[in-house]
Structure 1
Amino acid sequence: MAKLARGARRNIPPTAYLRVYEPLRAFSDEEQLLIAAQREGGREAFETQEVVDSLERVTRLVSDPFPHATAERFRTLHYPGANGLTVAYYCPDQLATRATLAAEQLNGTMRPQLLEVLVPDPARAANAERLVHEDFAEDVARLHTRSATWGIPFGWFVLLREDDHCEIVEDGERIVSVRLCAPTAQALERARYAAASLAVHAPELDMLDDLTGLSEWLQLFHPESIVELDYGRTAELVWPDDSPHDIRLGIESLAEGDMLGAAASYRRLASRWLKVRQLARAS
């Protein structure tokens, strides 16, 4: 299965994820039972299974990209605690909800004929019947995972710093992913500081709205949660990556009125990610 997953990853567009992991007590009794039943698998086994499941969905004989499983699955993050011991945090995959939202977002961005091939109306109708609408509405309101393909939104880098907890996942000599993590309280403080600086010195930048949205999103979760930036296969294209440092330096330069320093930081950042976007157009 691991070999199949490695091959599949190479054919999937590089996708990064911003996730929020909550402590066990933030979940219902039913969810805690599901978490306890899944603890044995481990994070990398989860990621491998996710890639294999994705491949199976897109290669079905009858076109239907939606997941059919109903039981929620949870990623586990082990984050260093104050006493030196790691503490487990959990992120529900919410795959059915995310797949439904992704299919809806294709409307208006794709020709109807192509959309019908990729997401046929019968598959869409069957997926709607499988959804528990109360659970779907709750997941939409508190979606734990955000994703970005062929790049990472610059606002995400505001939440993390280069000296935060970092995990590099490798397969032989190849980087599979890089994951930066920090407490949501720190991430919120960073987002608010950056938003305040932008509001005063560069209110026209789209990042101001992005940071406002990220701050509102992070406040939906337990105050002791952990936020994770998972580069995914994007790490292969940019790591080692100075983006968190460049974003921080740019924001600090703005706050100090150093417009030249802020512009230089932005140029480094934009140049780095322009290369990734050019690869997207080339593919």
Structure 2
Amino acid sequence: MRTSVLPPYAAHLRVYEPLAAYPEPERARWQAYAAAHGPDAAEAGRPVAVAALEEQRAALAELVGRTPRALPERESERAFVRSVDGVLYVCPWATRLRTWQALDELRAAAPVALLDTALPPATRAAAEADRERWRAEHPDARPWIVTSRWEVPVRWFLPFGEEDRCFVPAGGPGATGDQEPAGGAAEPGGAAGRPGAASAGGAGLDRGEKGEQAALFYLTPMAQARRRVARAYRALREAVPEGDLVRGAELVGRWLEEFHPRSLVELDYGGLVHLLGPEQLLADRSAGELEDGLRALRAGEAAEALRVYEELTVRWRRVLALRYAN
């Protein structure tokens, strides 16, 4: 199914496990899948934006039907595949599992009348019964992908450093602005780098002449991600034991522990690139700013750490507030 609809304004935190981490026959299936489809990103500095858009199209196709369905009938057999230094890494879409989780979020947030109209009680009850049966058969199941709409939660930056950042402008490498890895000229926290400074209407600049979407993502080895989160958690627990970021670090750390130690961890701005606009994407240095704040905290500079954290939080709250824009 082809559609011109933009991907949703959502960011994604993904784990790619090495092919060897999957037990048989799952490993053979993913190996065949990778051989047939090829990697979605053949090197660390390339995004999986095209495959992510295809995932959204597939999800949209599942919603088109005469009778409402709460979730896909079968689990997706597709995945994001990265190849780094000759090693294949696989991140299963697990669409059905993630749909169950999204249904929980919808049930908690939507008014009952709206929920009953979109998904009648009988449909939701059938989905819940189906999930309980599936849980009994897959007690250790966990999603390789978590999604946040309209913002990147600040805690998601904890596993990453400035050197993990990769910005690919619209049109791909070679387009105006060219691929800009970490350490570029844009200053963190500058006026152009304030997420939310762009209007949602600025999305017309997201595609270059080649038709490739802009992408901003971070990619790091699991071992490095775990070290960063653990170090941040220790510093935060000592300084602000009841703070939101302490709980966030604990949640992220526990989730990362579920996966193979040689995995890759990716934070993908996803559809948020259409919301922020190219100048904001180029200048955004959120992970680096959080690093600076944590460095100040470990040095005993609590006031500076608080200033950095508050500025970062306020900027992303401005982005989140755009969901209410007309």
* The two structures share one fold, judged by TM-score above 0.5: yes
Unmatched 5+ residue regions in structure 2?
41-47, 172-206
- The equivalences for 1:61-100 within 5 A come to 61-79=66-84, 85-100=85-100
> Whole-Å Cα distance in 2 between the matches of residues 267 and 257 of structure 1?
17
What's the counterpart of residue 253 of structure 1?
296
Structure 1 residue 49 corresponds to structure 2 residue 54 = yes
- 8 Å contact 1:8–1:51 — kept in the other structure? no
Structure 1 residue 280 corresponds to structure 2 residue 285 = no
- 1:167, CA displacement in angstroms? 5.9
Distance 1:115 1:191, change over 3 A: same
What's the counterpart of residue 31 of structure 1?
26
- 8 Å contact 2:19–2:31 — kept in the other structure? no
> Whole-Å Cα distance in 1 between the matches of residues 240 and 73 of structure 2?
46
Unmatched 5+ residue regions in structure 1?
80-84
The TM-score with structure 2 as length reference comes to 0.75
* DSSP 3-state at the match of 2:162: coil
Deviations 1:34-79 (A, max 9, x none): 2123213342553233121222233323222422234532211223
Distance 1:220 1:70, change over 3 A: closer
> Whole-Å Cα distance in 2 between the matches of residues 149 and 158 of structure 1?
18
Q: Which amino acid aligns with 1:258?
A: E
Identity of aligned residues (%): 28
Q: 1:19 aligns with which of 14, 26, 30?
A: 14
Distance 1:69 1:8, change over 3 A: farther
Q: Which amino acid aligns with 2:291?
A: R
* Alignment length (residue pairs): 271
The TM-score with structure 1 as length reference comes to 0.86
Structure 1 residue 9 corresponds to structure 2 residue 6 = yes
What's the counterpart of residue 143 of structure 1?
143
- The equivalences for 1:98-177 within 5 A come to 98-127=98-127, 128-129=129-130, 132-139=134-141, 142-164=142-164, 166=166, 168=168, 170=170, 172-173=207-208, 175-177=213-215
Higher mean displacement: 238-247 or 175-184: 175-184
- 8 Å contact 1:63–1:117 — kept in the other structure? no
* DSSP 3-state at the match of 1:29: coil
Deviations 1:125-145 (A, max 9, x none): 554448634455332xx3221
What's the counterpart of residue 193 of structure 2?
none
- 1:209, CA displacement in angstroms? 0.9
Distance 1:167 1:38, change over 3 A: farther
> Whole-Å Cα distance in 2 between the matches of residues 31 and 167 of structure 1?
33
> Whole-Å Cα distance in 1 between the matches of residues 70 and 62 of structure 2?
5
Deviations 1:206-231 (A, max 9, x none): 11011112112211111111111111
Q: 2:248 aligns with which of 191, 210, 225?
A: 210
Structure 1 residue 266 corresponds to structure 2 residue 309 = yes
What's the counterpart of residue 82 of structure 1?
none
Distance 1:66 1:177, change over 3 A: farther
- 1:189, CA displacement in angstroms? 0.7
Distance 1:215 1:133, change over 3 A: closer
Distance 1:263 1:165, change over 3 A: closer
> Whole-Å Cα distance in 1 between the matches of residues 323 and 22 of structure 2?
38
Distance 1:105 1:262, change over 3 A: same
What's the counterpart of residue 261 of structure 2?
223
> Whole-Å Cα distance in 1 between the matches of residues 170 and 254 of structure 2?
34
- 8 Å contact 1:183–1:224 — kept in the other structure? yes
Distance 1:121 1:38, change over 3 A: farther
Structure 1 residue 191 corresponds to structure 2 residue 186 = no
Q: Which amino acid aligns with 2:100?
A: T
> Whole-Å Cα distance in 1 between the matches of residues 137 and 53 of structure 2?
26
